[in-house]
Amino acid sequence: MRQPVAIVVVAVVAVLVAGVAGVRAYDASRDDVIAKGVTVAGVDVGGLRPAEARARLERELAEPARRPIRVRAAGRTFRLSAERARVHVDVEGMVQEALRRSREGSIVTRTVRHLTGGRLDADVELAIVWSQRAVDRLVRRVARATNRPAKDATLSFSARGISKVPHQDGLAVQTKELAADINAELADPSADRIVRAKTKVTKPKVTTDQLAQRYPDVIVVDRANFKLRHYEHLKLVKTYTIAVGKVGLETPAGLYRIQNKAVDPAWHVPNSDWAGDLAGKVIPGGRPDNPLKARWMGIYDGAGIHGTDAIHSLGTAASHGCIRMSIPDVKELYDRVEVGTPIYIA
């Protein structure tokens, strides 16, 4: 009886060995076949061998990923090529990962899945890289070409008076958002590769409506017509007749500010030939030989506005560089303006 039993045992073992060998052989025959249900970045590669999978991923992922990025900003288009961005899709790495995922599990579970038509639920992530430096350079290029600084409102001066130069809003590319949008396009081969740069309006520090408050007083001197105009909050309040510097001693033209003020100022006589024996002396205020009568408003390099009792000189070029006013007029103006008041001499 023992001999027949032994034969049966041997036969069973042989069948099992043959079965195991068959399973191993079957599994080995499919070690380069990607399991059904495996995708790469959403592209189905199930049932494909490596060469087939590479061709499909090249066509559906790598080629679209090499399309250039186009950024549109303020009516202009900026281009970033795949070469400059150093875009690289690791097709081979993704195929190998798909094969590795296909070999997960035991030999038995793999064989059963293959024989029964089972599917894996596995998606391999897209393996793509690019140069962030290239993206940052593109963002800077777009910003340089698009950004427009805001301009403060200001005043325009002429002999005729003053006029407003309106403020201008600026424009600025939102660079962080733009970089993020470009990166998102590069990361998605199916995207349309078009990025619309977001911008924001920037505001000036001084708007047109703020000018009047910013300029409580302005003085404009029209040398040719011997007029001094005083503006309060950009509105003309009074025009005065004045005398200005004679030929060779002209009142300096330009935009200045009232630098200092004084009542009955002393006269520091310039060291000039025209001063004669008085050159270099200081004549106290209020004296008859002091031509600076009543009030002084210094402007620039010894020139200023002062009162005069030589009323006949008003309306002429008669001074040694200063602006002369009648004594009542200079007192009135003195009380109205402060140190720092702009004065434009045309």
Is 114 a residue of the active site? no
Torsion, Cα of 74, 76, 82, 85 (10° steps)? -50
The amino acid at residue 199 is: T
Cβ within 8 Å of residue 10, ≥6 positions away: none
The one catalytic residue among 88, 306, 312, 320: 306
Is 322 a residue of the active site? yes
Burial degree of 114 (CB within 10 A; 0-12, 13-18, 19+)? middle
Helix %, strand %, coil % for the chain, to 5? 35, 30, 35
- Phi then psi for residue 26, to 5 deg, are -65, -45
Burial degree of 193 (CB within 10 A; 0-12, 13-18, 19+)? buried
The one catalytic residue among 88, 230, 268, 322: 322
The amino acid at residue 213 is: Q
Q: Are 178 and 142 in contact (CB under 8 A)?
A: yes
Q: Among all residues, which ones are annotated catalytic?
A: 306, 322
